[in-house]
Amino acid sequence: MKWREPLERALAEAGHEEQGAVMSTSESEYFYLTLRDAKKSLNRRINLMAKVSMIGTALKSRGSDYVLVLKLVDRYESPPGLSVNLFADNLDKLPQVRSTGDIISLHHVEMKVNNGEFFCTFNGKLSSFALFNGEAVMDLSPYQRSINYQAADNDRKFLMQLRTTSENLQPEQVLGEPIATLFCNLKVEENLTIVCKVLHATETSAGDLVLFVWDATDSPLVTLQIDLDMEGQGQNLLHPEVPLLSGEALYAFPPVGTIIRLTVSKDIQNISHIKGVGYWVKLGNVVFELQSGLWKGALTPDSYVQILSDEDYEVQCHQRIFIYRNSSKVDRLPLSIFPWPSDVTETDLSYSSYSTLMESLTYPEIIHKFRTVVRVVTSCPWQAKDLCTPSTAKYRIRLMIEDSTARIHAYIFGEDGEKFFNGYPPIDVLTEKMYKLLGISGSPVLRNPPWVWCCLKSYYLDENDPWGSRRYRIFGTRLI
């Protein structure tokens, strides 16, 4: 074959013929060059197998194609590594590298040099690739490959060699790179850099991408600016992941830490490589805002995305935060309750039954009885004169409650209401109790509800659809 001759000639010129292994398949032979020898094969089509040290963002090229830049290292090439420019007419045809340290096999790429910098180009029509897990695992099959990629027997040999390579593959640190902001330190309308895990990705009906991200800390406590009458008007202020996620996706959410929704406009095409889940990423130039008391973020055309490995220092810091919080009873409580929840309520259940709202939402059984710490976002009805239904003269109230992990509806009715309000006190006493619970000190629109203890129990309305009809009610709780 024509492309074999320049490869063999390049190996001979480099004086490292032993480094290019002959790889046989039923139709062709492949020679893998080291990155050092690849630089001696200018304007020739070569084959490479190396570790990915840096993952760029997929961008629209000057033409109709998309381009993704990766940096590669091997035992002869240290970080940041050799650049590879990969072109494709479709974002899905580009490599979706899961993590730095993963291994890529490239066939028929062309070596170039510009202003003294070496790089190679990948043409989607002529070149091919395969991606492999970079860790020392038994699985030797690629987790992604282009349609025209032809595997060879000796792929396994080189794959195992690269998996034992000990180079430091941490992404290149950019001089003056901003320090990442924890979710607990978020600010409105500022371009921030965050390190987070992508737990879920979905698309809206308008075609925008929605990422559900988490960093093991809690978002800052905010003063609510929600009209209490909005609940009566049917406004849906639930935590945004509830209507968008399937039960399977929801069950993968951690029990502590705030999950924030990041919106990516359909016009932004540079984050195709994080449409999956389970990635740790560094996101730059992210803008945050508050909507109905919930933190939301948005990526802009100036945002950048960097996929991180589990060995990254910042990722390990976040993982340690989660392990510490999840194993501590006190630190599983919302971080903003310091020093302790208010004494506005009393409960029957003991502290040993404590659970976050997300932990209950992902509880494997329908019925879950637990004690938790929440804020009351809204109440329908909220005025004392309307708390009892006219027909039965009994309490029937729907509260919207939240903690640092989720926002749900919880009902108070019947005997539970009598205990909650200590019977049927006069209207002025009941008004005072509701104001205290809702955090009303002046205007009912601008409020700062206290953190309160309450007992919750999940139940279902339809035995034929128990999970779909699952609800929560407050019981064993008294408002002082």
Q: What is the pLDDT of residues 13-36, one digit of tens each?
A: 333 333 333 333 333 446 788 898
275: confidence class by pLDDT, cuts 50, 70, 90: low
List for the chain the helix, strand, coil content (%; round to 5). 20, 35, 45
Does position 318 have pLDDT exceeding 50, yes or no? yes
Does position 2 have pLDDT exceeding 50, yes or no? no
DSSP structure class, residue 336 = G
Q: Which long-range contacts (CB under 8 A, 24 or more apart) does 155-161 make?
A: 155/23, 155/49, 155/105, 155/130, 157/21, 158/21, 158/32, 158/49, 159/49, 159/103, 159/132
One domain for residues 267 and 147: no
The pTM (predicted TM-score) of the whole model is 0.65
In a domain, 176, yes or no: no
One domain for residues 93 and 64: yes
In a domain, 412, yes or no: yes
Please name the amino acid found at residue 129: F
Measured between alpha carbons, how far is 35 from 33 in angstroms, rounded to an integer?
Answer: 6
Q: Quick: pLDDT tens for 385-441.
A: 999 988 888 999 999 999 999 999 999 999 999 999 999 999 999 999 999 999 998
Alpha-carbon dihedral sign for residues 102, 105, 106, 111? positive
Q: Quick: pLDDT tens for 137-175.
A: 777 889 999 999 988 777 887 888 888 764 444 444 443
One domain for residues 159 and 11: yes
Does position 198 have pLDDT exceeding 80, yes or no? yes
The whole-chain average pLDDT of the chain stands at 82
One domain for residues 269 and 355: no
In a domain, 465, yes or no: yes
Share of the chain above pLDDT 70, in %: 84
What is the CATH classification number for the domain harbouring 49? Answer: 2.40.50.140
In a domain, 312, yes or no: yes
Instruction: Quote the pLDDT of residue 128.
Output: 94
Across 101-110, 270-279, 336-345, least confident range: 270-279
Q: How far is CA 111 from CA 37, 40, 122, 275, 374, in A?
A: 11, 9, 9, 30, 60
Half-sphere exposure of 448 (CA within 13 A, CB side): 9
- Show Cβ contacts of residue 366 under 8 Å, excluding neighbours closer than 6 positions: 458, 459, 460, 466, 467, 470
One domain for residues 410 and 305: no
Question: Given the structure tokens 């991180």, which residue do they identify?
Answer: 308
Instruction: Quote the pLDDT of residue 462.
Output: 95
In a domain, 171, yes or no: no
Instruction: Quote the pLDDT of residue 146.
Output: 93
- Per the structure, the count of domains in the chain is 3
One domain for residues 9 and 137: yes
Does position 9 have pLDDT exceeding 70, yes or no? no
In a domain, 219, yes or no: yes
Domain that holds residue 290: 183-327
Instruction: Quote the pLDDT of residue 27.
Output: 35
DSSP structure class, residue 115 = T
Does position 444 have pLDDT exceeding 70, yes or no? yes
In a domain, 178, yes or no: no
One domain for residues 305 and 346: no
Does position 344 have pLDDT exceeding 60, yes or no? yes
Name the token pair of 202: 């979905």
One domain for residues 296 and 431: no
59: confidence class by pLDDT, cuts 50, 70, 90: confident
Across 165-174, 263-272, 328-337, least confident range: 165-174
Domain boundary among 130, 163, 196: 163
One domain for residues 361 and 273: no
Instruction: Quote the pLDDT of residue 109.
Output: 93
Instruction: Quote the pLDDT of residue 199.
Output: 92
One domain for residues 251 and 284: yes
One domain for residues 356 and 276: no
Across 109-113, 182-186, 265-269, least confident range: 265-269
In a domain, 177, yes or no: no
Q: For residues 237 and 42, which has the higher predicted lDDT (pLDDT)? A: 42
One domain for residues 293 and 345: no
DSSP structure class, residue 126 = T
Domain boundary among 327, 362, 387: 327
